[in-house]
Amino acid sequence: MKMRNTIDNSYSGTILGIKVGIFMTYQTKTKDELIKELSELKDKCEELKRAEEKLRLMQEITQSISESEDFNSALLIAIHKICKTTGWVYGETWIPSSDNSYLECGPVYHSNIAGLKEFRKESEGFKFERGVGVPGRVWASKNNVWHWDITENHVFLRSHIAKKHGINGTLVAIPILAGGEVVAVMVFLVTEHGKRNERIVAFDVALVSTIVTHLGTIFLHKRAEESLRESESRFHRLAEASFEGIAIHDKGNILDANGSLARMFGYEPSEIIGKNALDLTAPESREIILKNIMAGYDKPYEAVGLRKDGTTFTAELIGKPIQYKGKMVRITAIRDITCQKQFEEELLKVQKLESLGILAGGIAHDFNNLLTGILGYVSLAKMRLNHADKEYKWLSDAEESCRHAKELSYKIITFSKGGSPIKEPVYIAEILKEVIDSLLNGSNINTEFVIPEDLYIIDADKNQIREVMKNLVINAKEAMTDGGVLKVQIENIISGEKVEPFLKDREYLKISISDTGKGISKEDIPKIFDPYFTTKEMGGVKGTGLGLAVCHSIIKKHDGFITVESVADSGSTFNVYLPASSMKAG
**Rounded Cα gap, residues 449 and 462, in angstroms:** 21
Q: Worst-scoring range by mean pLDDT, 54-68, 149-163, 311-325, 481-495?
A: 54-68
More confident residue, 377 or 576: 576
Helix (H) or strand (E) holding 547: helix 547-557
Position 26 pLDDT exceeds 70: no
Distances (CA, A) of 302 to 281, 319, 349: 11, 12, 21
**Rounded Cα gap, residues 382 and 48, in angstroms:** 137
The domains spanning 242-336 and 424-584 adopt the same CATH topology: no
SS3 11: helix
Position 433 pLDDT exceeds 70: yes
The residue count of the chain comes to: 586
Q: Does domain 242-336 have CATH number 3.30.450.20?
A: yes
Q: Would you list the DSSP string of 324-374?
A: ETTEEEEEEEEEE-HHHHHHHHHHHHHHHHHHHHHHHHHHHHHHHHHHHHH
Highest mean pLDDT: which range of 12-16, 31-35, 154-158, 360-364: 154-158
Give the burial class of 219: count Cβ atoms within 10 A of its Cβ; 0-12 exposed, 13-18 middle, 19 or more buried: buried
Helix (H) or strand (E) holding 185: strand 181-189
Q: Average the pLDDT over 402-425 and give the result.
A: 72
Position 540 pLDDT exceeds 60: no
Position 33 pLDDT exceeds 90: no
Distances (CA, A) of 422 to 527, 580, 585: 29, 16, 20
CA angle 552, 558, 560 (to 5 degrees): 65
Cβ within 8 Å of residue 526, ≥6 positions away: 345
| Residue 303 near residue 315 (C-beta atoms within 8 A) | yes
Q: Average the pLDDT over 287-308 and give the result.
A: 90
Position 187 pLDDT exceeds 60: yes
Q: Would you list the DSSP string of 33-58?
A: HHHHHHHHHHHHHHHHHHHHHHHHHH
Q: Would you list the DSSP string of 133-158?
A: HHHHHHHHH-S-EEES-GGG-TT-TT
For the domain spanning 68-241, the CATH number is 3.30.450.40
* pLDDT (0 to 100) of residue 459: 92
- Structural domain spans, the chain: 1-67, 68-241, 242-336, 341-417, 424-584
Count Cβ atoms below 10 Å from residue 264 Cβ, excluding itself: 22
* pLDDT (0 to 100) of residue 417: 56
Count Cβ atoms below 10 Å from residue 47 Cβ, excluding itself: 13
* pLDDT (0 to 100) of residue 15: 45
CB environment 239-248: b (16+ within 10 A), e (fewer): beeeebbbbb
Position 541 pLDDT exceeds 60: no
pTM confidence score: 0.41
CB environment 84-121: b (16+ within 10 A), e (fewer): ebbebbbbbbbbbeeeeebbbbbebbbbebeebeebbe
pLDDT-based confidence at residue 327 (cuts at 50, 70, 90): confident
> Which amino acid is residue 567, in one-letter code?
V
Position 68 pLDDT exceeds 60: yes
Percent of the chain with pLDDT over 70: 80
SS3 475: helix
| Residue 249 near residue 255 (C-beta atoms within 8 A) | yes
* pLDDT (0 to 100) of residue 197: 64
Q: What are the pLDDT digits (tens) for 403-413?
A: 878 777 766 66
Q: Worst-scoring range by mean pLDDT, 46-50, 272-276, 474-478, 504-508?
A: 46-50
Q: Does domain 424-584 have CATH number 2.40.50.140?
A: no
